[in-house]
Amino acid sequence: MYVSPVREPLISGEKSYSKVTEEIYAPMTGRPGKTWYAGLTLALIALMFGLFSIFVTVWDGIGTWGLNRTIGWGWGITNFVWWVGIGHAGTFISAILLLFRQKWRTSINRSAEAMTIFAVMCAGLFPLIHMGRLPLGFFIFPYPNTRDVWVNFNSPLLWDVFAISTYLTVSLLFWYMGLIPDIGTIRDRLKNGIKKKIYAFLSFGWTGSARHWMRHESMSLILAGLAAPLVLSVHTIVSFDFATSVIPGWHTTIFPPYFVSGAVFSGFAMVLTLMIITRKAINLEDYITKAHLESMNKIIIATGSIVGIAYITELFIAWYSGVIYEQYAFINRAFGPYWWAYWIMMTCNVITPQLFWIKKIRRSFVATFIISIFVNIGMWFERFVIIVTSLHRDFLPSSWSMYSPTWVEVGIYLGTFGLFFTLFFLFIRFFPVIAIAEVKSVLKTSAEKFIKKGK
Amino acid sequence: MKQYWKSIEELIPEEEVVQEKKSSYILNDGKDSSTNSRRDFLKYFGFSIASAAVLAGCERPVKKAIPLLIQPEEVKPGTANYYASSFYDGSEMVPILVKVRDGRPIKIEGNDMCKMTGGSASARIQASLLNLYDESRPAQPMVDGKATTWEQVDADMLKILSEWDAGKEFVILTSTIISPSTKKLLADFKAKYPFVVHETFDAYSYSALRESFALNYGEAIIPSYRFNAAKLVVGFNADFLGTWLQPVTFGRQYASARKLTEGQREMMRHVQFESTMTLTGSNSDERVPMAASDEAHYIAALFSLLAGKAGVSVPTVNAPEQIQKIAEELWSAKGKSLVVSGSNDVDVQSMVCGINHILESEGNTIRLDYPISLFEGKDKDFEDLLNRIEADQVGAVMLWNTNPLYHLPLDEKTQNVLAKVDLKIAVHSQQTESALACKYVLPAPHFLESWDDSELVSGLFTLTQPAIRPLFKTRHAQENLMAWAGVEGKYYDFIKSNWKENIYNINLSQGKQFETFWKTSLRDGLVFDDTKKNSVPSFSGVDTSFISKYANPVSGNELELVLYQNVPIGDGTLANNPWLQELPDPVSRVCWDNYVAVSPAFAALRGWSQGDIVAVNGIELPVLIQPGQARNTLAIAVGYGRKNAGRVATDLGKNVYPLVKMKNGNRQYFVENVDAVATGATYELAATQSHHSMEGRALVRETTIAEYLKNPASGNEKHEEVEKLHTTLYHEHEYKGHHWGLVIDLNSCIGCNACVVACSAENNVPVVGRNEVRRSHEMHWLRLDRYYAGESDNPEVVRQPVMCQHCDNAPCENVCPVAATNHSSEGINQMAYNRCIGTRYCNNNCPYKVRRFNWYDYTGADTIPNNRVDPAGMTLDLKRMVLNPDVTIRAKGVIEKCSMCIQRIQEKKLTAKREGRMLEDGEIKTACQQTCPADAITFGDVNDPNSKVSKLLKDARQYGLLEELHTLPSVVYLSKVRNKDQNKTLS
**Tens-digit pLDDT profile for residues A242-281:** 999 999 999 999 999 999 999 999 999 999 999 899 888 8
CA closest to B840 among chain A residues: A72
Q: How far apart are CA B273 and CA B282, in angstroms?
A: 11
Asked whether the beta carbons of residue B845 and residue A247 sit closer than 8 angstroms, the reply is yes
Rg (CA), chain A: 23
Asked whether the beta carbons of residue A61 and residue B690 sit closer than 8 angstroms, the reply is no
What does the pLDDT read at residue B24? 47
B398-417: buried (b, 16+ CB within 10 Å) or exposed (e) per residue? bbbbbbbbbbbbbeeebbeb
Asked whether the beta carbons of residue B777 and residue A324 sit closer than 8 angstroms, the reply is no
Q: Which of B818, B891, B967 sits opposite A139 (nearest CB)?
A: B818
Q: How close does chain A come to B909, measured CA to CA in Å?
A: 26
Q: What are phi and psi of B30, to 5 degrees?
A: -80, -120
Same fold, B208-372 and B702-978: no
Domain B556-687 classified CATH 3.90.1580.10? Answer: no
Q: Which of B814, B816, B849 sits opposite A70 (nearest CB)?
A: B849
| Residues in chain B, pLDDT under 50 | 23-33
Asked whether the beta carbons of residue A246 and residue B697 sit closer than 8 angstroms, the reply is no
Contact residues, chain A, for B835 at CB < 8 Å: 139, 149
Q: Say whether A214 sits in a helix, a strand or coil.
A: helix
CA closest to A141 among chain B residues: B818
Q: Please tell me the CATH code under which domain B142-200+377-455+459-528 is placed.
A: 3.40.50.740
Q: Which of A67, A140, A245 sits opposite B837 (nearest CB)?
A: A140
Contact residues, chain A, for B786 at CB < 8 Å: 398
Q: Which of residues 840-869 of B touch A (CB under 8 A)?
A: 840-841, 843-845, 847-849, 851-857, 864, 867, 869
CA closest to A147 among chain B residues: B835
For the residues A163-186, what does the mean pLDDT come to? 91
Contacts of B228 (CB under 8 A, 6+ apart): B253, B254, B256, B257, B268
What does the pLDDT read at residue B931? 95
Instruction: Identify any residues that bridge with B86 across adjacent strands, giving them in sequence order.
Output: B95
Q: How close does chain B come to A135, measured CA to CA in Å?
A: 9
Could you give the angle at which helices A75-86 and A255-281 cross, rounded to 10 degrees?
70
Query: Is the minimum CB–CB distance between B965 and chain A shorter than 8 Å?
Result: yes
Angle among Cα A406, A410, A412 to the nearest 5 degrees reads 115
Query: What ranges in B711-776 are assigned the alpha helix state H?
Result: 717-724, 754-763, 770-774
What does the pLDDT read at residue A1? 67
What does the pLDDT read at residue B797? 94
Sheet hosting strand B286-289, strand order edge to edge: B286-289, B269-274, B232-236, B337-341
Q: How close does chain A come to B767, measured CA to CA in Å?
A: 14
Q: How close does chain A come to B771, measured CA to CA in Å?
A: 11
Domain ranges of chain B: 142-200+377-455+459-528, 208-372, 556-687, 702-978
pLDDT in tens, A409-453: 999 999 999 999 999 999 999 999 898 888 888 888 878 777 776
What does the pLDDT read at residue B661? 86
Q: What are phi and psi of B737, to 5 degrees?
A: -100, -115
Q: How far apart are CA B528 and CA A36, in angstroms?
A: 90
Q: Say whether B631 sits in a helix, a strand or coil.
A: coil
CA distances from B484 to B191, B193, B476, B479, B490 (A): 13, 10, 13, 8, 13
Q: Which of B817, B849, B857 sits opposite A157 (nearest CB)?
A: B817
Q: Which of A155, A324, A401 sits opposite B817 (nearest CB)?
A: A155
Question: Which stretch of DSSP H or E encloses residue B974?
Answer: strand B971-974
Rounded to the nearest 10°, the torsion over CA B325, B329, B332, B338 is -130
pLDDT at A2 > cutoff 80: no
Amino acid at B902: I
Contacts of B927 (CB under 8 A, 6+ apart): B107, B755, B758, B759, B761, B762, B763, B901, B904
Amino acid at A45: I
Asked whether the beta carbons of residue A398 and residue B785 sit closer than 8 angstroms, the reply is yes
Contact residues, chain B, for A247 at CB < 8 Å: 844-845, 847
Q: How close does chain A come to B828, measured CA to CA in Å?
A: 18
- Pick among 3.90.650.10, 3.30.70.20, 1.20.1740.10, 3.30.420.40: CATH of B702-978: 3.30.70.20
Q: Count of residues for chain B?
A: 987
What does the pLDDT read at residue B33? 45
Q: Which of A70, A151, A245 sits opposite B845 (nearest CB)?
A: A245
Query: Is beta strand B440-441 parallel, antiparallel or unpaired with respect to B423-427?
Result: parallel
Substitution target from A246, A247, A326 for chain B, most B beta carbons within 10 A: A246
The pTM of the full predicted model, rounded to 2 decimals, is 0.90
Contacts of B552 (CB under 8 A, 6+ apart): B297, B318
Contact residues, chain A, for B844 at CB < 8 Å: 71-73, 245, 247, 391
Q: How far apart are CA B351 and CA B357, in angstroms?
A: 10
Asked if residue A175 lies in contact with residue A224, where contact means CB atoms within 8 angstroms, the answer is no
Amino acid at B777: H
Question: Which stretch of DSSP H or E encloses residue B132?
Answer: helix B123-132
Where residue A455 falls among pLDDT bands split at 50, 70, 90? very low
A297-329: buried (b, 16+ CB within 10 Å) or exposed (e) per residue? bebbbbbbbbbbebbeebeeebeeeebbbbbbb
Contact residues, chain A, for B857 at CB < 8 Å: 61
Q: How far apart are CA B385 and CA B171, in angstroms?
A: 9
CA-based nearest residue to B969, from B846, B818, B820, B798: B846
Query: Is beta strand B222-225 parallel, antiparallel or unpaired with respect to B196-200?
Result: unpaired
Instruction: Identify any residues that bridge with B372 across adjacent strands, giving them in sequence order.
Output: B222
Q: What is the ipTM, given to two decimal places?
A: 0.93
pLDDT in tens, B336-361: 999 999 999 999 999 999 999 999 99
Asked if residue B856 lies in contact with residue A60, where contact means CB atoms within 8 angstroms, the answer is yes
Question: Which stretch of DSSP H or E encloses residue A441?
Answer: helix A436-446
Domain B208-372 classified CATH 3.40.50.1950? Answer: no
